[in-house]
């Protein structure tokens, strides 16, 4: 094992739906979600996902958006000209020159989650690298309440990275390790990541194992997002997206505290839930295109 551990590790990917022939489609649209960590593009042929690309966000939004869409259409035979309308979303949405409209990630996320999980979804909790979003939506995927916390690192992937770094544990193992404790410790009491880190150092000095400290932090994080969910009104049909949704230590404690389980991904679902925002964008693009055609 090397000493340099990559704490935030994920692979860039792409996907083409073999069951869709875009040449037969009447409308091709796309959604591009430029986030702070990753950029996603989803291409839609009529009502089906045709392809998607998932890339690391580079130093500027226009290039990141272009990289993502190019990666998505790679090998499909599609060119940018074939895509009739593009909606930009995410943190870098206003800097995508080839997008016809920018729509907030809140609205796109709700719409995309509705597509991925179906109309049953009411509450979406998106815990990303640098923000945390709680969204409440109706059966059509329209937002009925939201909050987005990007001011404070507590409750975000960044906070978890600080702890992974402190304990020299790869971020992907944090969840599993936090569950390997004999007794659930009380949660870390500081919300602020800076203070929580000092608290963690203190716990280690008291002789706590790494697993115990991780358990205490995962449970603090779970508790924190529960309070965010309470603000927007929680309904039991909830789903989790974003990087932290892959951390079983946080997810299982969250489910325990809420007393309900997250809605599982449908069996035939082939898409990474991280694509929710981009898919929502592509769906908005389709509606906007239909509206503009009607206007003529």
Distance CA 267, CA 34 (A): 28
Contact predicate 210/163, CB 8 Å = no
Q: Is 290 in the site for another protein (CB under 8 A)?
A: no
Q: Which residue has the tokens 């709680």?
A: 134
Residue among 158, 246, 253, 286 that touches another protein (CB under 8 A): 158
Residue among 130, 172, 173, 252 that touches another protein (CB under 8 A): 130
**Binding residues for another protein, how many (CB under 8 A)?**
36
Nearer to another protein, 86 or 193 (CB): 193
Nearer to another protein, 8 or 15 (CB): 8
Q: How far is the CB of 63 from another protein (least distance, A)?
A: 17
Q: Is 165 in the site for another protein (CB under 8 A)?
A: no
Q: Is 80 in the site for another protein (CB under 8 A)?
A: no
Q: Is 124 in the site for another protein (CB under 8 A)?
A: no
Report in angstroms the alpha-carbon separations of 112 from 215, 223, 230, 250, 274. 32, 26, 22, 23, 10
Nearer to another protein, 25 or 152 (CB): 152
Q: How far is the CB of 202 from another protein (least distance, A)?
A: 6
Query: Which residues are near another protein by CB under 8 A?
Result: 103-104, 106-107, 130, 136, 138, 142-147, 149-154, 158-159, 162, 190-195, 202, 205, 224, 227-228, 231-232, 284
């Amino acid at each position: 094992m090397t000493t340099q551990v990559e704490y935030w590790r994920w692979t860039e990917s792409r996907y083409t739906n073999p069951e869709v022939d875009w040449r037969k489609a009447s409308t091709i649209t796309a959604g591009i979600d430029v986030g702070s960590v990753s950029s996603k593009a989803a291409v839609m042929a009529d009502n089906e996902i045709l392809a998607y690309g998932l890339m690391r966000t580079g130093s500027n939004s226009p290039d990141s958006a272009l990289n993502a869409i190019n990666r998505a259409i790679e090998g499909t035979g599609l060119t940018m000209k074939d895509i009739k309308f593009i909606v930009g979303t995410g943190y870098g949405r206003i800097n995508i020159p080839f997008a016809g409209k920018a729509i907030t990630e809140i609205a796109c996320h709700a719409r995309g989650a509705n597509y991925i999980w179906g109309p049953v979804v009411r509450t979406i909790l998106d815990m990303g690298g640098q923000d945390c979003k709680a969204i409440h939506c109706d059966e059509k995927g329209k937002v009925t309440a939201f909050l987005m916390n990007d001011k404070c690192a507590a409750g975000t992937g960044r906070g978890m990275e600080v702890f992974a770094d402190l304990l020299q544990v790869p971020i992907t193992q944090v969840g599993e390790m936090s569950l390997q404790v004999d007794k659930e410790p009380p949660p870390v009491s500081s919300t602020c990541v800076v203070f929580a880190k000092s608290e963690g150092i203190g716990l280690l000095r008291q002789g706590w194992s790494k697993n115990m400290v991780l358990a205490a932090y995962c449970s603090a994080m779970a508790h924190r997002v529960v309070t965010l969910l309470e603000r927007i009104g929680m309904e039991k049909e909830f789903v989790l997206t974003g990087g932290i949704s892959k951390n079983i230590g946080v997810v299982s404690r969250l489910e325990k505290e809420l007393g309900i389980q997250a809605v599982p991904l449908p069996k035939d679902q082939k898409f990474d839930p991280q694509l929710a925002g981009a898919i929502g964008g592509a769906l908005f693009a389709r509606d906007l295109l239909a509206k503009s055609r009607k206007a003529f």
